[in-house]
Amino acid sequence: MVGWIKQKWGNLRARIRWPGWGGGGGIARRILLWGVGALAVFVVALGIYWSWEPDPFSVRLNTAEKLAVTGNDYVIGAATTSAMIRVAESLLDKPGGYLTNDITPPGIYLDNIPNWEFGALVQVRDLSRAMRESFSRSQSQSTEDPDLIVAEPNFHFDNDSWIFPATENVYGEAVESLQSYLARISDPNNADAQFFARADNLATWLEDVETRLGSLSQRLSASVRQNRVNTDTAGEPAAAQSTPVDSEIQVQTPWLQIDDIFYEARGATWALMHFLQAVEVDFEAVVEDKNAGASLRQIIRELEASQGTVYFPVILNGSGFGTFANHSLTMANYISRANAAIIDLRNLLEQG
């Protein structure tokens, strides 16, 4: 078999006439091979660099930097708006830029950071919707802010469009609208733009956060095969659903999707960690009035722990008590604890 392969390879080389490869053409061949090898190494190294997750940032320092651009002092809402601007900018300006819509190497073969981007993007979308519908309005009959009318739908634009228009351009316009909103709410002479720090609108946004984290926790836990009791209609005797399902269901994340879900959760918790640190600044009086400061700090602490360094180059998903680690279950643990604290915080905010 080896002799047959060598013979076929020799015949193929004899048929091909490469420029400069005849006789003493070995130099050209070596140059081409070295060039291809160097290009491959460069693309791989660049892909590794682009796969680094953005570092956490100081919410208070970021707020001061964003306000310095406007020339205004701190006002209620500046920390939350500045944090959302910085997270959105991180999606666009990190090493490699925005990668989800890349169609050339190395971006086209990277999947960890694009999933990280999607997790952070979902949190930006949820907060931008809360800003437009609740934080910037005094009541349900009040007028929506013109800048947030632009920012919120732009963040909901397709996350993988590479041209006509490119996703980066649409998200960039959303960031510019948020910067305009920040300048307007921090302008003491402009009473048209407002940010209302109230317990009810904070609780409304936290309800969305709660459902997002609950879903991520379930998807992460499914990295190992589980038999789950169907609780879809539990607690409501008259409840019904469109399609009947078994009382027990078996769930397991496909092997090729395990790292995708893990990095989506990393991006979501990274963004949410900064948003809640900003809430700690803007809603300080509200949180303290409800005696909910400890609950909020506990949520932030769990989210910070979820950003610990992954020391293995591959996301391991051994069985729960097996020989190998299970990074997904570790992440699910932090998210579940944070979600439990969010439920407590929301209950405190909704109490009179």
pLDDT in tens, 329-342: 999 999 999 999 99
Tell me the average pLDDT of the chain: 88
pLDDT at 254: 79
E strand spans, the chain: 226-229, 248-251
Tens of pLDDT, residues 19-70: 544 444 578 888 888 988 998 899 899 998 999 999 999 999 999 999 999 9
pLDDT at 266: 97
pLDDT at 248: 62
* Cα–Cα dist 237/289, whole Å: 38
Tokens 């539990």 belong to 234
pLDDT at 5: 53
Segment among 43-47, 80-84, 139-143, 184-188 with least mean pLDDT: 139-143
74 vs 10, which has greater pLDDT? 74
* Cα–Cα dist 331/253, whole Å: 15
Asked if residue 90 has pLDDT above 80, the reply is yes
pLDDT at 318: 74
| Residues 202, 279 contacting (CB under 8 angstroms) | yes
269 Ramachandran zone, left/alpha/beta (phi>0; psi -120 to 50): alpha
* Cα–Cα dist 282/195, whole Å: 10
| Residues 334, 269 contacting (CB under 8 angstroms) | yes
| Long-range own/partner contacts, residues 149-153 (CB < 8 A, 24 or more apart) | 150/174, 150/177, 151/175, 151/177, 151/178, 151/181, 152/125, 152/128
The radius of gyration computed from the CA coordinates of the chain, to the nearest angstrom, equals 26
Tokens 């020799």 belong to 10
User: pLDDT grade, residue 285 (50/70/90)?
Assistant: very high
* Cα–Cα dist 172/121, whole Å: 13
Asked if residue 257 has pLDDT above 50, the reply is yes
pLDDT at 324: 75
Tens of pLDDT, residues 312-321: 888 888 766 6
Asked if residue 238 has pLDDT above 70, the reply is no
pLDDT at 21: 47
pLDDT at 343: 95
| Long-range own/partner contacts, residues 289-297 (CB < 8 A, 24 or more apart) | 289/199, 290/199, 290/348, 290/349, 290/351, 291/348, 292/345, 292/348, 292/349, 295/341, 295/344, 295/345, 295/348, 296/345
User: pLDDT grade, residue 134 (50/70/90)?
Assistant: very high
From the list 160, 197, 163, 193, the residue with the least C-alpha distance to 177 is 193
Tens of pLDDT, residues 154-174: 999 999 999 889 999 999 999
* Cα–Cα dist 98/89, whole Å: 10
90 vs 40, which has greater pLDDT? 90
